[in-house]
Amino acid sequence: MSIYAQRLDQFTAAHKQAQQQFNLLSIARLITVGLFIVAGYYYLDNQESLWAYLLLGSTLAFFGLLRLHDQVKRKRDRLKELCIINEQELAHTQNGALPFDDGQALAPQDHPYSHDLDLFGPNSLYQLLNRTATPMGQAALQKDLLEGLEQADILARHAAIEELKAELDWRQEFLAQARLAPKGSQSLYPDFLRWTQRAASSVHPLANVLRFLFPIGLLLSAIAYIFTFSLLWERLTEAFFILNIILVQRHLKAIQAESLQLDRLRPTLRQYGILLQLFEKKSWQSPLLQNMQANLRKNGPEAAQALSQLGRLLAGLDSISNLVGALIFNGIGAYHLHLLAQLYNWRKKYAKELNEWLLLLGELESLNSLANLAYNRPDYQFPELQNTPDFYFEDLKHPLLPPEQAVGNELDLRQQKLIILTGSNMSGKSTFLRAMGLAMVMARMGSVVAAKTAQLQALPLYLSMRVNDSLSENASYFFAEVKRLQTILEALKKAPHFVLLDEILRGTNSDDKRNGTLGVLRKLVEYKAVGALATHDLEVCALQANYPNYLLNACFEVEIREQELYFDYKLRTGICQNQSASFLMRKYL
């Protein structure tokens, strides 16, 4: 039985027990309500002390059960999420299912390689990796896929991912708590960021003095009245009570505005506080995780403690809607004005840090996603990073193909740097190019790659494999591809890139296509590009003789066995000798 199956059984049993506890507590609460009603009825009828004690006891029991009921509910919901997490991982590891968000909404419109490599959408790399549950996590994983990291940051991530990989319990607990954030928190996140970025507000200096002076005056007047029963002190007490109300009333609009804007965020902030606490309380060994932990503590109290304080302030502000309670507490101590001042001070002190904390949570979710892949695929390895453009892959595979179908290949670009790749249709050229591209993307985000061994330099990528025409810009497919190639060559002039081109210049005649492909190849050699160009035009392969130390001919072959095509999807050195198109036309036309 796999580890995920074992954990699913474990959490399913625990969830069933928690559900039973939840049901029993619900019944117990109903019983206490019934006792309260009966005790209240008989106490009002005969004023016996027994019913008074029962009335008090049922009230205390109800509130105690209410608190316990909430704790059991959170425990039950957490266990339910852990069941779902392990159920999804079991389906993924056993059946190749991808029951995770595919990030289609995060796909950029124009990017050097995202569209060509299907980084987002159904059956994408994002969907394979994604174990995020917050908008910050989704944004962090998107950024990692689209931008990549510097070489030093990649190495730091290797150690962090290796450490997280072994922490299955912690990773799943973190994900379960993240999934417990209210479902609408994604839409509220931009509003919350705007709140943190607002100009600092403060209570008027005079009001700031009066919010202490009036309650102190009320307290002293009340004490004096208790000892003297003087009408003067009674009137002063009443006056200070009214002054407190007036003082709060003057700030009621600001109090209600803050409460209205942030009240919906309280459950979300509570979960984010739990996530930060989970990270803060654990002892980490890798330098990256230690530095992230230190950043949470650089400005006074721990981040989780500060978020908890914010949650309490918001809960207090929300009580302004309780008219009776608000009247009493504000009359005695200008309660909501104190909360407003504390909220302003909190934002002034922590607004910048809060955004950093949320970004840190997002980075943690992205790291968790990469650690989860490393855990699920022990056959994948971290690449050895090089300072020169030397590339070598042993058993390189396409990570989105089912393991039983993926064919591994050796790729050696330590001598020659650019492959001219030939092969018939369906032989595996495009799949191999995407395997190369995805390996580079995964390497540049600090992940393991789908290879037994990998040596590479973390160069930026540029691809031209799937170029769309544009009706809105009146641009043909051919012109769109020419512009893409121009962009690639301009980028190569400025810095080395890993470049993958698949059947370029398909929108023109064969002579123009061949001449254009040869021209592009010469430019790629001139600008020291590394990568591969796939073509059906075998005459292009002759250019290798002009650049034997830089260009390498490689191919995928097809065999005809008993009137059927057979592909082994293995990369060979040399030029493709067999073509499938003629055979297919003879067979079917």
Q: Dihedral, CA atoms, 184, 188, 192, 198, nearest 10 degrees?
A: -160
Query: What pLDDT was estimated at residue 300?
Result: 58
Confidence (pTM): 0.87
Q: Are 537 and 384 in contact (CB under 8 A)?
A: no
**Residue holding tokens 């159904």?**
122
DSSP calls for 259-291: HHHHGGGHHHHHHHHHHHHHHHHS---SHHHHH
pLDDT tens by residue, 167-187: 999 999 999 999 998 876 666
Show the 3-state SS of 180-221: CCCCCHHHHHHHHHHHHHCCCCCCCHHHHHHHHHHHHHHHHH
Rounded to whole angstroms, how far apart are CA atoms 295 and 293? 5
From residue 421, alpha-carbon distances to 46, 534, 541 in Å are 98, 4, 8
Rounded to whole angstroms, how far apart are CA atoms 288 and 160? 6
The whole-number average pLDDT for the span 563-568 is 75
Copy the structure tokens of residue 291. Answer: 């530095």
8-state DSSP, 20: H
Range of weakest confidence among 122-126, 147-151, 350-354, 383-387: 350-354
470 pLDDT tier (thresholds 50, 70, 90):
very low
Who's near 306: CB < 8 A, 6+ residues apart?
A: 300, 346, 350, 353, 354
Type of residue at 530: V
- Cα 304 from chain centroid (whole Å): 19
Query: What pLDDT was estimated at residue 492?
Result: 94
Rounded to whole angstroms, how far apart are CA atoms 431 and 277? 43
Range of weakest confidence among 67-81, 419-433, 438-452, 506-520: 506-520
Rounded to whole angstroms, how far apart are CA atoms 214 and 549? 87
- Spelled out in words, what is the top-level CATH class assigned to the domain 384-588? alpha beta
Query: What pLDDT was estimated at residue 582?
Result: 59
Q: Are 529 and 491 in contact (CB under 8 A)?
A: no
Q: Which of 416, 389, 391, 414 is nearest to 549 (CA)?
A: 416
Strand partners, 464: 501
Strand partners, 533: 420, 501
| pLDDT at residue 468 is higher than 60 | no
pLDDT tens by residue, 300-317: 567 888 888 888 888 888
- The side-by-side arrangement of strands in the sheet containing 409-413 is 384-385, 453-456, 391-396, 409-413
| pLDDT at residue 559 is higher than 70 | yes
8-state DSSP, 398: -
Query: What pLDDT was estimated at residue 231?
Result: 87
End-to-end CA distance of the chain: 51
Map out the domains of the chain as residue ranges: 1-97, 185-203+251-376, 384-588
Burial class (CB within 10 angstroms; exposed 0-12, middle 13-18, buried 19+) of 132 = buried
pLDDT tens by residue, 325-367: 788 888 999 999 999 999 888 888 887 788 888 899 999 999 9
